[in-house]
Amino acid sequence: MPDVIVIGSGGGGPVVAKELAARGLDVLVLEAGPRFADPATEWTHFEDDANNPVSGFLRSGPADRSRPPWLRDLPQHSYVWQVTGVGGTTLHYFGNSPRAVPGVFAGYDGADRSLYDTGHLFPFGYDELRPYYEWVEATLPVQTAPMGTKERVFLRGAAALGLPHQVSLDTTGPGHRAQQNAILQPGGTAGRTRDPALLRHPRARGCTMCGHCYQGCSLPAGAPRNLKARRSTDNSYVPMMLTADAWSPHGHAVTLVTGAVVTRILTDDAGTVARGVRFRTDDGDEQEVTADVVVLAAGAIESPRLWQLSDLPDPYDRVGRGLTDHHLDAVFGVFDEYTGETRGAGSNARVDLPGYGGIEQVGMPPALQAYSLGFSDSGIHGHGRAGGVVDTAGADGLGRLVGTDLLGALSDADRTLMALVITDDDVEDDNRVTAPGFLPADDHGPVARVTMRHRQRSARTRRNREHCTRTAVELMRAAGAKSVHRCDWPPLILHAHSTMRMGAREEDSILDPSGEARWVRRLFVADNSALSNSLGGPNPTLTTQALATRTAERIFAAYFGGDAWVGREDPVCSIDDRVTEAVIARGL
């Protein structure tokens, strides 16, 4: 009988597991997908091999790629881009680690307060979360992104628009800056050569600037798992949780079980206190495990799905509602000069537009560039629109690029530049997850239905998308692009969050300010679904991890008689020599 069961090992679950294991608790982590123990042999940089939603190794599905992926019921033209397995969707992410903007927290009194979704604020102040940000930033670690040519071109355009250079981690006004990334800076031969023979650890350290972030990070070759460049949780928090007994004086190593599909959260007879879980292993065997506390960290789709399939109470019909996804769009510029679009870490520069969202420079290999340019709600060149936008936002083209137009735009993939538009969405009840959906169950179980009112979003969300997209087009022009194209993406549900949101009132939130479920004691949520809102536009992972650290403290204090540690101790970095020695010794 463990002290704590954590369901899921994506962006948030390993954070809670690592923190509680370091304090001596016995933690069991259950993961439905696989663990990639040796990415050097299990992964490739081939884009279809990695990203194919049916057969790619980074998909939502079982470890055996000959078996079909796990389904989602999607009534609209959309796709949920998530990864099942240890590391979850952080296996895909670019490591972007900006903090949320202060305007989305309670107590904010800035002059721009009216620009935000004030009806769905975090139930505490920004200053309360700051030390948890600092703890996670030191643990991962988060560093200024490694810069290259594409970043120089992007930031040149931002500066030409008159946007100031932002130097603070706290975003209170428009500006441009280098990303704060969970990517180790290049060292030694890394970033200085493309010769694979010279890019082995320890001669090469940190980011090798390979350009393949979206295919997972297995570099530098030969590095221990905790010294791989990009700090997805499989490279950072997971090695730490599995070796907590080695680097923490009171630590207890976490038990990780993969291929374990949780089918039900178990409660007492009244259904108001969590007492364990039921799960099914790859061989079809079903087991039940009890614990003092259960932490739901399966993600913004799976967490509400599991709640609903477990018949847990939902007196205000809130579970699964309020799905936010940053209402993404993409803008491409084609240049006469070399941009290095396919080289280096995936996203290293950004523009913040508080109250509206932001714009991120994105580097992609050619096939993913082609995918992005062929993904549109406005049809081919804006014709045959499926309810998409009419306004080009000042771009030269709109919609899907195909045929010779696509070949022309990508005639040299290193003379392009991509900007990702990420909005500050409103939390809208009709954007939701329900289970079961209308599709028949697959081998994962009853299928969740994911509904996004993409074409009927709130007026503020639509305004934010148009404002950020127009700014991105202007940025490309200012940077020197000879042509600019707006994609008008349909809902690519990539930054999914807020479906189990934390709030101040039980009428419109599932979690109380400590992260505990309001109607089921001893059940906590610690993934993107717990986020109160869309953060003002910044990427969600860092805030999820800061919130998960805070939630771990609340669990320790409420149910295990412990004290807080953030602000009282120095965090142990995931690349600390003690962690590295334990990882090597245990072959992790």
Are the CB atoms for 389 and 293 separated by under 8 Å? no
Q: Does residue 287 form part of some domain? A: no
Mean pLDDT of 348-377: 94
Dump the DSSP string for 326-349.
TT-EEEEEE-SS---TTSS-S--E
Pick 38 or 273 by higher pLDDT: 273
Dump the DSSP string for 99-131.
PPPGGGBTT---TTGGGS-TTS-BSS-HHHHHH
Helices (H) and strands (E) in the chain, counts: 13, 23
Which residues constitute the domain of residue 45? 4-71+78-251+322-581
Residues 6+ apart with CB under 8 A from 378: 385, 386, 388, 389, 398, 399, 400, 488
Q: Does residue 299 form part of some domain? A: no
β-bridge pairing 79-80 and 492-493: parallel
Q: Distance between CA atoms of 581 and 177, rounded to whole angstroms?
A: 35
* Total Cβ atoms within 10 A of residue 49: 15
Q: What is the DSSP letter of 262?
A: E
pLDDT of 101 above 90: yes
Q: Does residue 381 form part of some domain? A: yes
Q: Distance between CA atoms of 30 and 28, rounded to whole angstroms?
A: 7
Mean pLDDT of 58-75: 94
Q: Distance between CA atoms of 313 and 95, rounded to whole angstroms?
A: 36
Confidence at residue 77, expressed as pLDDT on a 0 to 100 scale: 82
Q: Does residue 412 form part of some domain? A: yes
> Strand pairing partners for 527?
none
Q: How far is CA 243 from the centre of its chain?
A: 24
pLDDT of 386 above 70: no
Q: Does residue 348 form part of some domain? A: yes
Dump the DSSP string for 373-420.
HT--SS-BTT-S-SS-----TT-SEESB--HHHHHHHTSSGGGEEEEE
pLDDT of 388 above 80: no
Tokens 């903090």 label which residue?
Answer: 99
Predicted confidence (pLDDT) per residue in 170-209, tens digit = 998 999 999 999 999 999 999 999 999 999 999 999 999 9
Q: Distance between CA atoms of 433 and 313, rounded to whole angstroms?
A: 16
Element housing 465 (H / E): helix 459-479
Predicted confidence (pLDDT) per residue in 510-541, tens digit = 999 999 999 999 999 999 999 999 999 999 99
Per-residue tokens: 318: 């809130």
Residue from 519, 514, 522 nearest 291 by CA = 522
Are the CB atoms for 399 and 380 separated by under 8 Å? yes
Confidence at residue 387, expressed as pLDDT on a 0 to 100 scale: 61
- Which amino acid does the sequence have at 228? K
Q: Distance between CA atoms of 129 and 127, rounded to whole angstroms?
A: 5
Which pTM does this prediction carry? 0.97
Per-residue tokens: 461: 């969300």
Q: Distance between CA atoms of 25 and 250, rounded to whole angstroms?
A: 9
Q: Distance between CA atoms of 175 and 165, rounded to whole angstroms?
A: 6
Are the CB atoms for 474 and 62 separated by under 8 Å? no
Confidence at residue 382, expressed as pLDDT on a 0 to 100 scale: 80
Q: Distance between CA atoms of 205 and 461, rounded to whole angstroms?
A: 42
pLDDT of 278 above 70: yes
Confidence at residue 426, expressed as pLDDT on a 0 to 100 scale: 97
Q: Does residue 473 form part of some domain? A: yes
Dump the DSSP string for 264-280.
EEEE-TTS-BEEEEEEE
**Average pLDDT over the chain, rounded to an integer:** 95
Query: Secondary structure of 232-259 in the HEC alphabet?
Result: CHHHCHHHHHHCHHHHCCCCCCCEEECC
Residue from 233, 291, 285, 301 nearest 523 by CA = 291
Number of domains in the chain: 1
Q: Does residue 108 form part of some domain? A: yes
